[in-house]
């Protein structure tokens, strides 16, 4: 891949969103049985912050060693969400459908100027009250994953809220093993792996033009369309198509070439 970029004269990407290899390896010990029941075991202390953010933090993965030595590998927050979701007792737990949206909201902060522009357009279109739908916010508002200190506070607040939460049958939402998952993901949060890089405006999104909200004519109904650079939709879509090309578990390079 590095050769293809070099031969084409295209500048290599400085950031890569993956599901691993974002920072230097570390080890989190197994939790003591019953430790998850006490909230003190979940708290973030200054010593934890110092231990997570000191020493060599850069990972020497193949993406950096063979592709671009100055590239920054960051985990997609979707995979972090999935890891928390797997530590719930069941996707059918009554609190699961409440926990996931709140955790997702903790990871993303909506640009307030974009949100105001969308609300103004909604009022122009006669929508009362001007409360944009999730779909409209996703398409017309840029979001940002905050920096480590703010992100840790937001996520920890959600985890604490559901810490000992149970359903009417006293079935807890969390498995005991979620404490170790929290400690692992907390290291990534503290190291800034999950936070969006502080870059100039427009880097994290591509301008997709504008459209008329609800097909209403007029300048007041015009809203921008933002296409995120960071995200999983296009990447996972490619992985899905790739799985259709390559069937079975053992194939050669000749067999895996896409059909014309």
Does residue 68 or residue 44 have the better pLDDT? 44
pLDDT band, very low/low/confident/very high, at 240 (cuts 50, 70, 90): low
Residue 38 has pLDDT above 70, yes or no: yes
What percentage of the chain carries pLDDT values higher than 90? 47
Give, in order, the Cα–Cα distances in Å from 223 to each of 111, 113, 116, 205.
14, 12, 11, 15
Q: What is the pLDDT of residue 63?
A: 66
260 has a pLDDT exceeding 50 = no
pTM of the complete model: 0.80
Q: Which residue has the higher pLDDT, 216 or 148?
A: 148
Confidence of residue 21 (pLDDT cuts 50, 70, 90): confident
pLDDT over 50 at 107, yes or no: yes
């Amino acid at each position: 891949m590095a050769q293809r970029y070099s031969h084409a004269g295209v500048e290599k990407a400085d950031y890569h969103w993956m599901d691993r290899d974002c920072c230097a390896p570390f080890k989190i010990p197994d939790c003591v049985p019953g430790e998850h029941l006490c909230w003190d075991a979940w708290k973030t202390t200054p010593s934890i912050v110092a231990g997570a953010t000191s020493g060599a933090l850069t990972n020497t993965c193949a993406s950096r060693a063979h592709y671009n030595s100055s590239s920054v590998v960051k985990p997609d927050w979707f995979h972090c969400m999935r890891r928390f979701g797997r530590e719930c007792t069941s996707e059918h737990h009554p609190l699961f459908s409440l926990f996931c949206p709140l955790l997702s909201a903790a990871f993303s902060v909506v640009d307030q100027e974009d949100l105001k522009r969308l609300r103004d357009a909604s009022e122009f279109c006669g929508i009362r009250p001007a409360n944009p739908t999730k779909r409209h916010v996703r398409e017309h508002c840029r979001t940002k994953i905050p920096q480590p200190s703010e992100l840790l506070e937001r996520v920890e607040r959600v985890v604490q809220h559901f810490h000992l939460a149970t359903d009417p049958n006293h079935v807890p939402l969390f498995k005991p093993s979620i404490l170790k998952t929290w400690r692992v993901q907390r290291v990534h949060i503290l190291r800034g792996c999950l936070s969006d890089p502080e870059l100039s405006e427009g880097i994290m999104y591509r301008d997709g033009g504008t459209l008329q909200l609800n097909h209403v004519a007029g300048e007041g109904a015009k809203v921008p369309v933002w296409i995120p650079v960071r995200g999983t939709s296009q990447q996972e879509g490619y992985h899905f198509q790739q799985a259709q090309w390559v069937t079975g578990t053992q194939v050669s390079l000749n067999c895996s070439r896409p059909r014309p």
